[in-house]
Amino acid sequence: MELVVQQATHEMEADLDDRKLKVKTKDRDTYRIPSIDLLEKGPEGDGGIDEEHLAESKRRLLEKLSIYKIEVMRIQATVGPRVTLFEMELAPDVKVSRVTALENDLAMALAARGIRIIAPIPGKNAVGVEIPNSRPETVMLRSVLQVEKFKNSRYILPIVLGKTISNEVYIDDLTAMPHLLIAGSTGSGKSVGINVILSSLLYSCTPDKVKFVLIDPKRVELFHYQHLKNHFLLRFPGFDEQIVTEPQKAVYALKCVEKEMELRYIRLEQAGVRNIGDFNRANPMDAMYYIVVVIDELADLMITAGRDVEEPITRLAQLARAVGIHLIVATQRPSVDIITGIIKANFPSRIAFQVASKVDSRTILDGSGAEQLLGDGDMLYQPSSLPKAIRLQGPYVSSKEVEAVTRYIGSQHALTDVRDVLLPKGEMRKRGSSENGAPQSFGAEDDERDPAFDEAARLVVMSQQGSTSLLQRRLRLGFSRAGRVMDQLEKEGIVGPQDGSRARDVLIADLSELEVRLNAPPEEDY
């Protein structure tokens, strides 16, 4: 049977430096968009197809299928940067499920690192088998930005995600996603993917159009973007860091963004419009910028701050789209205790890099396939508008390139009006922002009593049992808040210190003594 090789898509190249690189900003200073020459070209490929490997893969594939009496009417191949897609039209009497059941047998026959079966290919009367190439191609960021599609994009916040199997550059609009969830095992390409997304925005947007809130619990992934502090990074009232690394401050930073969202809704209501696009068209001189919130490791925040960080993320994901606030959240632990149901439901657009098991793949994509990816930027992208995920090869951008781009922007004249980039003060919930309470510099004071303090005091005195689990069950408090209330009870001398896993001693014998203690005037601290 003859193998038909589909011609790869040839993107129209464009010189990004032909654009108007000098742009006037609101404060009348000139901002210069980075030159494409700051990015590396990468090795020149010969662009050829390994026809021998292609023919051998086709022979083995058809040979194995014939053993199981699966007749193929027609076969064609599409060669991508990392994988080749074989499209097979089956005989009318062949069930698709028979092909999907042979995934491991086909992988063994082809001696492939991992194959993925698409049954059927959406919109086609064919079954697809993706097989790794013998000569994988590295896709550089410069090569996917230097195309006509990106240069003339009409998207509001265009981001380049990579190349499809047919070598077409895939660009999407962050405002239409409207939020993006990224997951994958260590070293699969998550942090590079985030750098690619941020670099795409830096090459397409000015500081007047978009601002970033960067939360990096690992401390080492996003530190290159500190050079953007006077142009693209928002400030928080109460502390100086603009790239947030501590979990307590991350909760407060998200609360500040949440407060900004609420204030923006008030502005939309007063203007009589429904979204940020209508507002900016009606008020071009007072246009609001878009805000992109990037969290590079959600698992660390969920472990240390739990529900305190889940709540603002969920509220932002549900409500923030209309006011121009968009989330990009990444994690290397795609489990149900990290990507909870309420978070997942509000992130319709998702990217899965290589994961360890089918369970992890189902958690992020609601289907298998990510466990068969090859790593190094090989991804499955599930857009909110399509029923099935698309396989893409993410571009590579080095730390050196990111540093060059951000330094170029940082060397330019700083924005003069700091108030434009200062977020409103976030409202920390009285139930506590973290296990140790909010630091005094930006949240509620450490000695401020929790609203549930009096009720908790009466409960432990009546039961003569001082345990955090009792407060959680009877008062329906979260773990962090119950622990904070228990620390306050110890500070006031109502319960004793913690003694391992045993319940604390209750130091007050009856309610009458407790009421005297609660109603006593507070002592002055010196």
pLDDT per position as a tens digit, 358-379: 898 988 998 888 998 988 899 9
What single letter denotes the amino acid at residue 140?
A: M
Other CB atoms within a 10 A radius of the CB of residue 54 amount to 19
Note the pLDDT of residue 11.
Answer: 79
Counted residue by residue, the chain has a size of 526
- 416 pLDDT tier (thresholds 50, 70, 90): low
pLDDT in tens, 93-118: 889 889 988 888 888 888 887 788 98
Q: How far apart are CA 505 and CA 515, in angstroms?
A: 19
Q: Which residue has the higher pLDDT, 292 or 422?
A: 292
Q: How far apart are CA 415 and CA 390, in angstroms?
A: 40
8 A C-beta contact, residue 77 and residue 101: no
8 A C-beta contact, residue 36 and residue 145: yes
User: Which two three-digit tokens encode residue 60?
Assistant: 């083995």
Torsion sign, CA atoms 148, 152, 154, 158:
positive
Domains and CATH numbers, the chain: 46-132 (3.30.980.40), 138-412 (3.40.50.300), 453-519 (1.10.10.10)
Rounded (10°) angle between helices 479-491 and 453-463: 80
User: Which two three-digit tokens encode residue 317?
Assistant: 């994901």
Q: How far apart are CA 201 and CA 383, in angstroms?
A: 19
Q: Which residues contact 28 (CB under 8 A, 6 or more apart)?
A: none
φ and ψ of 517, to 5 deg: -65, -45
pLDDT in tens, 213-265: 999 998 888 999 999 998 899 999 888 888 999 988 999 999 999 999 999 99
Strand partners, 422: 235
Q: How far apart are CA 491 and CA 508, in angstroms?
A: 13
3-state secondary structure of 73: strand
Q: How far apart are CA 8 and CA 77, in angstroms?
A: 10
Stretch among 173-182, 297-306, 393-402 having the lowest mean pLDDT = 297-306
